[in-house]
Amino acid sequence: MNVNIESSSTLRRKVTIELEADEIRSELDRAYNELRRTVHLKGFRPGHAPRHLLERFFGDQVRGDVIQKLIRESTEKALAENDLKPVAEPEIVTEETDLAKALRFSAVFDIKPQIEVKDYQGLKVPRPQIEVSEQEVDATLERLRERMAPLKKVTDRNTVQAGDFAILELEGFEDGKPIPGAKTEARLMEVSDKTLAHGLHEVLIGAEVGKPVRKVRTYDADYREKDLAGKSVEWRANVKELFRRELPALDDEFAKDHGECQTLEELRAKVRERLLKQAHDEAEAHVRQGLLDIVIERNPIEVPESLVARESQGLQAEMAAMLEAGGMPRAEAIERVRQNREELAPRAEKRARSGLILDALADQERVETGDDEVAERVARMVTQSGERERAARYYAEPENLAALKHSMRREKTLQLLLDRAQFEDPGEASASSET
């Protein structure tokens, strides 16, 4: 195996590998011998099929498998022998695949920068102010009240009002032709500007049950939905049934139905306690991010391109999943993400930079996460999951478990920064900044 290493930048490497015919022939012999033991050809006893027939029937498959195996194994060997550790999977470019001559390819990748984190001890941050108002408690109780409200069929009117839930069909047309992806089969929708995009709540308000309605909406040229931008769209809807939430009274009986409390005051106290915990957790998360931002600013580093690309792909997948969970069709969610991927670039770069700094700091401080800690976290997440079997299968996969362990190590490192930080009251912080 001949190996040549080139450096096109501080972090980018190109490893060119060439395997000679003897090495390839040995692997091909092994592959055909293995195939001979397992394949059954008519007219030949198992294990006695001649090589030329195996090559005729399975040659392309064998050559493909051998090329992949040789590339994988020789790349791993070359990286290990030269102490090269890619931050992401190398990009493989094949140059010669005539196995009678040679196999030549290159692996292009980035390596992790050498980082020594400095100036991270005793960072000063403002002390977070944690408060929960009565208005926040009231708003939370109102949302709980809405979640517990059953839907009741509307019988005293047949026109749609804001806040109704309607079973309806909906489709958008331009110049009399259906717009791809703008059709919804009969389903239950809440008629609200918070749940319906493109101003569709205005299309539906006033519509009568069983009577098709058509309304035209014109969208600006820079409208966020590219399929609608600059178009006059005729929306056609057919409302089949109407429902309305029947809100329960906010009293002691409501508290009992909630399943945790006997009185409304007891429920209010529990809601306040939860909101305080949530506010505390959010404040700590904000402080941790602030501390990390300070460390990043004090430790400028070069970030590998491939690492940013991987983080960008992760953000795009997260955004698409979030849009899909919100009811957007999968194809539309993917297209929306594609249109906005440039806006995600700065976040991807920051996420990659943060990860490198945290990993380097974890190494310096010898932060570790034990298997028992990971097992406890998995057990808690599986128990709390709405789909326990699916969650258990997910974390049974070694790569998913390793990713969780890595994430927990970073969490510990962030907590280390928080534990060592010096908190200042708002007055002290402003006074120190003035001086």
102-110 and 12-20 as β-strands: parallel, antiparallel, unpaired? antiparallel
Min mean pLDDT across 169-173, 360-364, 427-431 is at 427-431
150-245 CATH choice from 3.10.105.10, 3.80.30.20, 3.40.50.2020, 3.10.50.40: 3.10.50.40
Q: How many CB atoms lie within 10 A of CB 133?
A: 10
In the chain, domain spans: 2-110, 150-245, 284-434
Amino acid found at 299: N
The residue whose two tokens read 């060997």 is 77
* Average pLDDT over every residue of 266-281: 93
* Average pLDDT over every residue of 274-298: 92
- Here the tokens at position 318 are 């997260």
pLDDT at 404 over 50: yes
pLDDT at 44 over 80: yes
Contact 193, 218 (CB under 8 A): no
User: What residues contact 60, with CB distance under 8 A and at least 6 apart?
Assistant: none
Give the bridge partners for 102, in sequence order: 20
* CATH class of residue range 284-434: mainly alpha
pLDDT at 434 over 50: no
CA pair distance 13, 395, nearest whole angstrom: 34
CA pair distance 336, 391, nearest whole angstrom: 28
Min mean pLDDT across 194-198, 375-379, 403-407 is at 194-198
* Average pLDDT over every residue of 352-370: 95
Q: Which fold has domain 2-110?
A: Alpha-Beta Plaits (3.30.70)
- Here the tokens at position 120 are 């991270």
- Here the tokens at position 235 are 């929306």
* Average pLDDT over every residue of 199-223: 92
CA pair distance 304, 13, nearest whole angstrom: 11
pLDDT at 340 over 50: yes
The residue whose two tokens read 């000679």 is 20
Which string of DSSP letters, residue by residue, matches 6-58?
EESSSSEEEEEEEEEHHHHHHHHHHHHHHHHHH---TTS-TT---HHHHHHHH
Going by pLDDT thresholds of 50, 70 and 90, the confidence category of residue 426 is low
Contact 31, 22 (CB under 8 A): no
Contact 166, 204 (CB under 8 A): yes
